[in-house]
Amino acid sequence: MLKILDRYIIKKYLITFFFMLGVIMILAMVFDLADRLGDFIEKEAPISAIFFDYYLNFIVYFGNLFSPLIVFVAVIWFTAKMAQNTEIIPMLNSGRPFRRILRPYMIGATILMLISLALNHIVLPESNKVRLQFEDDYYRNVRTISDYFAEFPGKKVVYFDSYRSDKSRALGFVMENRNEKDQLVSIMKANQVFNPDSTDVWRLSDYHIRYIGSPNDSLVHPANSGVQLDTILPFKLSEMAQRNSVVQTMGYAELKEFIALEKDKGSADIAFYEIEFYQRTSFPFATYVLTLIGMSVSSRKSRGGIGVNIAVGLLLAFIYIFAMKVTSVAAENVGFPAIIAVWIPNLIFAVLGLILYRMAPK
């Protein structure tokens, strides 16, 4: 049963959070629109698509992405104001333990954490599909990739020299077929391959195929003969050269299956995909940690006013962001386990939060 104190603090918590979120998102939209307006005009993007397909989903994505840090600043802001207005001291002098005052903060954090979890796992995958499709249609640059290599199911090893998304074409294409004993069975090479998006039909130009197997080695169509081959392959060029951000459009089960498939291919971006997978849960839980720290550092009345509390809070926020970046880079570049990389900042700051909680005025 919520008491008057609980309702009072939860109301302040949520109102401050959503007010700050709204202000920050409006500013972000204004700056983004100023940066993208030329592209929108050049590509003749419909106004309805700009606001409903792009900016509506822009707010959902970036609002959720930055919500833990906005929670942090919001908690520091309204708690510091309560301390400066001498509201915290009467609460303590009434005989309530400090943990009793902390309870409505954690209730508010739980509300925001559950909203963020729902957004990450249910809403955002579909929302991001619309946003990213708009970006591809109206202002993304041409996707290019060089020196691609991957292994596909069926013992097929594929590599090519370069790819351009606007032409759906790759140059210097090679595909090796291997048997169950990992022995080379055939090699298909083409100077150029064309694969329209969303199809499995491939056109190979200036190609040749070598079938390997002593004593029956054979060569089909020598290269540079001008011969073309239309065939079907069990993969698409667009899948090979897709943006890393494509994982933002996948639900839990789809992303898990995608990571397993990319591991089979030997993709170099596995750590990036796993970080995205685990962050969908770790980020919402950061709300608890940052609420605890924010409440602990701002509940003491300061002679310097709320500016001192905000300065301390921003310093801790920058340290938190730095810690997340360091662990993510470690996961992507030196093989640090992704699940540890995304959770360790929360664990470190949870310990810091408990220390600050013990030091807070009682």
What are the tens digits of pLDDT across the range 247-286?
888 888 888 888 887 777 767 778 888 888 999 998 899 9
Query: Is pLDDT above 80 for 168?
Result: no
Q: What element of type H or E holds 357? A: helix 338-359
Tokens of 269: 């971006």
Contacts for 158-165 with beta carbons within 8 Å, 24 or more apart? 158/235, 158/240, 160/193, 163/237, 163/240, 163/241, 165/238, 165/241
Residue 185 has φ and ψ, to the nearest 5°, of: -105, -45
Average pLDDT over residues 311-332: 80
pLDDT of residue 214: 65
Map out the domains of the chain as residue ranges.
4-139+269-359, 144-239
With beta carbons less than 8 A apart as the criterion, state whether 89 and 98 touch: no
Q: Is the pLDDT at 180 greater than 60, yes or no? A: yes
Entry pTM:
0.79
Distance of CA 4 to the CA centre of its chain: 39
Polymer length in residues for the chain: 362
Name, of 16-20, 73-77, 132-136, 146-150, the range with top average pLDDT: 16-20
Q: What percent of the chain has pLDDT over 90?
A: 22
Separation of alpha carbons 297 and 356, rounded Å? 7
pLDDT band at 329, cuts 50/70/90?
confident
- pLDDT score, position 237: 74
**Candidate from 119-123, 317-321, 354-358 with smallest mean pLDDT:** 317-321
State the DSSP H helix or E strand holding residue 188, giving kind and residue range, or none if neither.
Answer: strand 184-194
pLDDT digits 0-9 by tens, 227-241: 777 788 777 776 666
pLDDT surpassing 60 at residue 356: yes
Note the pLDDT of residue 16: 94
Average pLDDT, the chain: 83
Orientation of helix 306-333 relative to helix 67-84, angle to 10°: 160
Binned at pLDDT 50, 70 and 90, residue 245 comes out as confident
Q: What is the pLDDT of residue 270?
A: 84
Query: Quick one: which of 71, 66, 65, 70 has its CA closest to 128?
Result: 65
Pairwise pLDDT comparison (321 vs 192), residue with the higher score = 192
At 183 the pLDDT is: 79
pLDDT at 305: 62
Query: What proportion of the chain, given as a percentage, has pLDDT over 70?
Result: 88
Q: What is the pLDDT of residue 12?
A: 92
pLDDT at 303: 63
Q: Is the pLDDT of residue 221 over 70?
A: no
pLDDT band of residue 212 (cuts 50, 70, 90) is: confident
Q: CA-to-CA distance for 72 and 310, rounded, in angstroms?
A: 10
Q: Is the pLDDT of residue 132 over 80?
A: yes
Q: What per-residue confidence (pLDDT) applies to 222?
A: 57
